[in-house]
Structure 1
Amino acid sequence: MRSLLAHATPADIRTDPFPHIVIPDVLEADLYAELAAGFPTTDRIVPGASDSRGTGNRRYVLSTSMVMMLNDMPDCWKRFATLHSGPDFLAQVAALFDGHWQPAMLAALDGHLTGHPTALVDLTQPPAATGLEIRQDARLEINTPVRDRPSSARGPHLDTANRLFSGLFYLRAPDDDSQGGELCLYRWRDGMVAAAPFDYQLPEAAVEEVVRIPYRANQLVLFPQSIHALHGVGARWPTPHTRRYVFITAEMNRDWLAGPGEPT
């Protein structure tokens, strides 16, 4: 199995509103079909999960560590999760975005993203700030069906301050005719807000939308973390369909991004 970045080059990087890649048809058709067919049901991701409250559109996740523990997970998913949560993939991301990493991030990592101890993200425990360690994950995620009225799973926000990069690999089902659910990329409207909260929704007035990337089967979006990496999910209209994707990430076991004072 080759990684999602097997054919990516620096020429694929788009810089507006911040560095990112969008690669359609990223996997070979046969491999993608195998992964899509083996994507677990909502109940398999969270046994007994209930989505009876509110408008739906709730997020559930299955981390790489859990994927590896489940005996009934298809082998293709175990191989995929292992490949995309390991140091070789981190090295691919580091090389692809060379020249686009934030100075503060590199300073916190002794100048380079590779060569550090790595481990899997443990969603049940907070990162331990002991030693210099990078945590990785390639977790299967869903947003449940939407009822009654349009809703967004996630408005404009910045990811956590310890994040190194974020990737989204979409697995839209063939019969999914829903509207919305795009990935929206933003820029600061009138300069960075005085106290930008990480991993919490920002006021709509603080940002302006620049790019709207469709929720499309077999498509990869990936970008480094920075104070400018503002993104969110477009509203989904009422639908019985589940939004399916893999969230691929790496993070330090301590915060490095300081907020609006971060150099560009």
Structure 2
Amino acid sequence: MSAAMAASAAQETAPVMGVPHLLSDVRVEDVFDDPYAHYTRRNVVPADVYAALEAEFPTLDTILGGRPAASNQAVRMTVKQVLNDRRISPLWREFFEYHTSGDYWRDVVRLFGDRFRRAFPGLEERIGRRYEDWRVVPRGFAGEADLHLDCQFVMNTPVTEVSSVKTAHVDLCDKIFSALFYFREAGDSTPGGDFEVYRWRRSPRFVKHRSLNRDVEMVKIVQYEANTYACFLNSEQAVHGVSPRGITNVPRRYINFIAELPMKAFEPKQLNAWQRLWYANDVKAAAQDERY
């Protein structure tokens, strides 16, 4: 982002109420390490702050921007789109600015830095700097960067057939940290849409980034509830998914947070040819759900 654009955005957003910093009060010991490094919290921001953010959450039409959408499809607005769109409220633009900033990244590192070092030995040497000193730029903006951060409005579109928007998988291997912040609409009683945490039953093996159901077991559910937050270190251990959502006209709403490298942090081990043949039905099911 240019200095002029940043100054203009800061000037426009200065008068708004205090924007929450989602990790600022979290302690290192609050992060769970089983089955992989993650943190979850209900009522993550004060009720009045959540109400102000929720009231100004963009509509599905705004996010779609005239595009067609299939049933239970993830549609999104990125930080670049948000900061360049004056239909988005100053409160939300400031929220997006902070959560793609160096200050936000340093909170991530405060909590996950040693966990990154254990998960990705040698990554700091590849980048040439300690995690604490990485140069951070919002995704989609120009500038010298060791890491790009994105913050996105996301909606899963209305559902016409019971389905999961994402079955058990790990995120793309250039992403080392991911998070979500739920904005469930009041009165939405649709079952499903919960965040699921999985543990490997065996050594990791994948069809692209998907795991076979036989290889993992679900160990934790973070319910799709308003004002609920979850974040995790993404690696080959970090298998997660979304429970199937029932038929509904109500979108599933959340904020998505991404920390993306200019290189791969890990390489998911793929099933070999014999395994793909032996587990053909499982492989077919995983491949059909490979929607990136």
**TM-score, normalisation: structure 2:** 0.80
Per the alignment, residue 103 of structure 1 pairs with 120
Q: Please show how residues 182-201 of structure 1 align to structure 2 within 5 Å.
A: 182-193=194-205, 195=206, 197-198=208-209, 201=210
d(CA) in 2 for partners of 1:2, 1:186 = 29
Per the alignment, residue 166 of structure 1 pairs with 178
Larger mean Cα displacement after TM superposition, 40-49 or 81-90: 40-49
Per the alignment, residue 138 of structure 2 pairs with 120
d(CA) in 1 for partners of 2:87, 2:163 = 33
- Give 3-state SS (helix, strand or coil) of 2:176's partner: strand
Per the alignment, residue 159 of structure 2 pairs with 146
Return the letter of the residue paired with 2:188: D
Q: Please show how residues 24-103 of structure 1 align to structure 2 within 5 Å.
A: 24-51=42-69, 53=70, 56-101=71-116, 102-103=119-120
d(CA) in 2 for partners of 1:42, 1:25 = 24
Contact 2:163–2:246 at 8 Å: present in 1 too?
yes
Alignment coverage as a number of residue pairs: 249
Contact 2:137–2:144 at 8 Å: present in 1 too?
no
Larger mean Cα displacement after TM superposition, 107-116 or 35-44: 107-116
Q: Does 1:18 align with 2:36?
A: yes
Structure with max Cα Rg: 2
d(CA) in 2 for partners of 1:40, 1:184 = 26
d(CA) in 2 for partners of 1:257, 1:171 = 31
- Structure 2: 5+ residue runs without aligned partners? 1-18, 271-292
d(CA) in 2 for partners of 1:109, 1:93 = 17
d(CA) in 1 for partners of 2:251, 2:149 = 25
Per the alignment, residue 4 of structure 1 pairs with 22
Contact 1:108–1:256 at 8 Å: present in 2 too?
no
Using the TM superposition, give the Cα deviation of residue 108 of structure 1 relative to its aligned residue in structure 2, in angstroms: 3.2
d(CA) in 1 for partners of 2:180, 2:214 = 26
d(CA) in 1 for partners of 2:41, 2:66 = 35
- Give 3-state SS (helix, strand or coil) of 1:65's partner: helix
Contact 2:199–2:217 at 8 Å: present in 1 too?
yes
Shift of the 3–189 alpha-carbon distance from structure 1 to 2, 3 Å rule, reads same
Alpha-carbon displacement from aligned partner over 1:31-53 (angstroms, at most 9, x marks no partner): 111111111111101211323x4
Q: Please show how residues 176-187 of structure 1 align to structure 2 within 5 Å.
A: 176-187=188-199
Using the TM superposition, give the Cα deviation of residue 218 of structure 1 relative to its aligned residue in structure 2, in angstroms: 0.7
d(CA) in 2 for partners of 1:215, 1:206 = 25
**TM-score, normalisation: structure 1:** 0.88
Note the aligned Cα RMSD (angstroms).
2.1
Return the letter of the residue paired with 1:103: F
Contact 1:154–1:232 at 8 Å: present in 2 too?
yes
Return the letter of the residue paired with 1:143: N
Q: Which has the higher contact order (CA 8 A, sep 6+)?
A: 1
Contact 1:158–1:197 at 8 Å: present in 2 too?
no
Shift of the 212–92 alpha-carbon distance from structure 1 to 2, 3 Å rule, reads same
Alpha-carbon displacement from aligned partner over 1:149-197 (angstroms, at most 9, x marks no partner): 310000111111111200101111112111100111112222211x552
Q: Does 1:235 align with 2:240?
A: no
- Structure 1: 5+ residue runs without aligned partners? none
